[in-house]
Structure 1
Amino acid sequence: MSDENPPRSRWSDLERPPLNATALRRALLGSDSLYTHLEVVGSVGSTNSELADRARRGAAQPGTVLVAEEQTAGRGRLDRGWSAPPRSGLFFSVLLAPEVPAERLGWLPLLAGVATAGALSRTAGVDTALKWPNDILVTVGGDERKCVGILAERVGEGPQGRPREGALVLGIGINVTLREAELPVPTAGSLQLAGAQGTDRDPLLRAVLRSLEDWYGRWTAVDGSAGESDLQEAYAAGCATLGRHVRAELPGDRALLGEAVALDGQGRLVIATGEGVQHPVAAGDIVHLRPAGGA
């Protein structure tokens, strides 16, 4: 006798259809495209870890895009976890090898933030704000909530221990249709909760990758100059962190309090203390960046 109420599969949510890998490849790959290969997998621990491992083995070349319907061990900065139900978001990584001076590589996650925020605003019709260094915020019920996390990591050594010079994986995670009860923390949000006009993941992913390609092309064409590519101006214009009083928690239980006043030429956040001293702080030096007096 058949079961009238079969168990609900974690993949059977009809409101969350799978991505169309064939259509995505047709739209995004081409002889003049940044992207050379695109793969959609059902589940993976972390798209960044998987793509970096493939690159080290020589099994992935720059321009490769790896997309997962689910991440079981997604990571943010400092190995903080990033979890979401299957097909509830966009979880993907891109292998890149930017030929720019090493001191300008810190702009890559900021570039990804500008590209992603602009694409989501245009395609989903939501207001977005950049939180330095690697988050994008949306407004849910009057509160700013994290909707996007970005992580850029060096690939490291390749075959026979040879380093892959300049290769990085750029990972982006976007909460698309997460419901309130599914949020991992109260400060998280999603495009759907922010009132998005559309949550179809295929056009969202195409828009983000095209925007990323555009900004990456501008940036690398001028040797990674954030000024000449207009990246520095664009990031500052969309950054909710600037102008606010913040508390930067640093390694060794140290803290820096002051107003976030600018971004310098290397993408560092400049914090002006009450004594009038300006301190540039790099993303890699920060444990937490919070509103002054915030939890």
Structure 2
Amino acid sequence: MSTPLTRASPLEPPGSTLASQLAARRGVRVVTGFVGLVAPTSARPRRALRMWALRSAQASAVLRARPRRVLRTHATRRTNVRKDGPMTSDAPREPLDAQLLRDLLRAPVGVLHRVDVRAEVTSTNTVLVAEAREAPHAWPPPSLLVADHQTAGRGRLDRAWQTPPHTALTASLLVAPGTPRQTWGWLPLLAGLAAARTLRSMTALDVRTKWPNDLLVPAPDGSDLLGWGPWRKVGGILAEVVDDERVVVGLGVNVDQVADELPVASASSLAAHGASQRREMLVAGMETSFVEVLELWREHAGDAVAAGLAEEVTAVCVTVGTDVRVTAAGGRELRGTAVGLDDDGALLVRTTAGEVERIVSGDVQHLRVIGAE
């Protein structure tokens, strides 16, 4: 009689239980040399594990084949974190290694058809949406546009998002969901899950999500901030529809910014936690993880509940279970407790009047701070 498999928690390091057990049972050696590629934690045992192990082995070979000069150059980048004052950085910041990104992410090593790395764009989402409409055959899904620097980055509600050159991860992935359009609201939530998984694996930080599209890390000093509680924003996701078949999902992560480069008190960076990583590795890990999550989602026709993904998204989302203030479409405001996610990814809020309302789109503030009510 075979030993039952234990499913890994979405917050555990990838491969900690299910992947390792399956590997041992099927005689597959789990490759851990390339930490950027995340082992599948959902139960698609044979194909997912086999593909993950293959990609990890091939990616490790790609890295070993890279000139030592390239790896050594990046290793000299450093950020000084001071407990008694602001962070400072006097080391040069290197541009992205475009060839390394292509080697890691394009088939046959990676999962993407096209990887385009540019020195500077206005916004990766804006550019990719426009080019995918103008020349659809030039951008077969899944394809990725990465920018070393954005001059007019955007977040939800058209909020500006700008960073110094060579400090952030800015990328947009063109996907063809292949599911009913009413399921597409899950896309930013699934991207957040994939990003949180990867960042936890690569940095050991307690990375969580804030509904619908923010990536959070704990405040370095543990303090509460109005609208954010004990969390700070390290990244964000923006999904935009291209046409009836394709969507662009943009991802931005603050990587190397120091304190005086962060625009607001609610922002943070990986460097602020002493957890900076090569941006190429972060892109490769997160985009690969996202594509694998999408594969599982598609296999269940966009039903995130049946795929087991809704449960995982809820587990990493700190909004669920938190008292919130929501500004919905049209400026309508409501307060209550976020009690879960609906089958389409909408946020369910039990209002102070005791009614449960569905929030499909809106600005959410966490109200943990004393006196915020």
Normalised by the shorter chain, which TM-score bucket?
0.7 to 0.9
Q: Offset at 1:65?
A: 0.5
Q: 1:24 is matched with which residue?
A: 101
Q: Which runs of 5+ in 1 are unaligned?
A: 1-12, 156-163
Q: 1:151 is matched with which residue?
A: 238
Contact preservation (8 Å) 2:111, 2:288: no
State yes or no: 1:72 paired with 2:151: yes
Q: 1:291 is matched with which residue?
A: 366
1:176 to 255, 277, 286: 255
CA distance in 1, matches of 2:372, 2:181: 34
Tell me the alpha carbon deviations over residues 31-56 of structure 1, each in whole angstroms, 9 at most, x when there is no partner: 58541010111110000010011111
State yes or no: 1:88 paired with 2:167: yes
- After TM superposition, the score normalised by the length of structure 1 is 0.88
Code of the aligned partner of 1:130 = T
CA root-mean-square deviation: 1.6
Q: How many residues align?
A: 271
Code of the aligned partner of 2:175 = L
Q: Offset at 1:165?
A: 2.2
1:57 to 123, 131, 134: 134
CA distance in 2, matches of 1:33, 1:217: 14
Q: Offset at 1:199?
A: 1.8
2:118 to 22, 31, 41: 41
CA distance in 1, matches of 2:183, 2:92: 41
SS in structure 2 at match of 1:82: coil
Tell me the alpha carbon deviations over residues 236-275 of structure 1, each in whole angstroms, 9 at most, x when there is no partner: 1111101111111123332111100010100000000123
State yes or no: 1:258 paired with 2:345: no
More strand by share: 1
Which segment drifts farther, 37-46 or 224-233?
224-233
Tell me the alpha carbon deviations over residues 91-138 of structure 1, each in whole angstroms, 9 at most, x when there is no partner: 000111111011110000000000001101101221111100000101
CA distance in 2, matches of 1:49, 1:202: 22
SS in structure 2 at match of 1:169: strand
Which segment drifts farther, 114-123 or 20-29?
20-29
Code of the aligned partner of 2:193 = V
CA distance in 2, matches of 1:152, 1:27: 24
Q: 1:185 is matched with which residue?
A: 264
SS in structure 2 at match of 1:75: coil
Question: Structure 1 residue runs of 4+, over 3 Å off?
Answer: 31-34, 292-295
SS in structure 1 at match of 2:330: coil
Code of the aligned partner of 2:337 = E
CA distance in 2, matches of 1:65, 1:215: 16
SS in structure 2 at match of 1:249: strand
Code of the aligned partner of 1:136 = L
Q: Which runs of 5+ in 2 are unaligned?
A: 1-89, 223-229
Tell me the alpha carbon deviations over residues 52-91 of structure 1, each in whole angstroms, 9 at most, x when there is no partner: 1111111422211000011000001111100000110100
Q: 1:215 is matched with which residue?
A: 293
CA distance in 1, matches of 2:300, 2:108: 22
- After TM superposition, the score normalised by the length of structure 2 is 0.70
Seq. identity, %: 40
CA distance in 1, matches of 2:172, 2:326: 28
2:207 to 122, 128, 132: 128
CA distance in 2, matches of 1:259, 1:122: 30
Code of the aligned partner of 1:291 = H
Q: 2:325 is matched with which residue?
A: 247
Code of the aligned partner of 2:178 = E
Code of the aligned partner of 1:66 = L
SS in structure 2 at match of 1:193: helix
Contact preservation (8 Å) 2:148, 2:169: yes
User: Residues 224 and 33 of structure 1: is their aligned pair in 2 closer, same or farther, counting only changes over 3 Å?
Assistant: farther
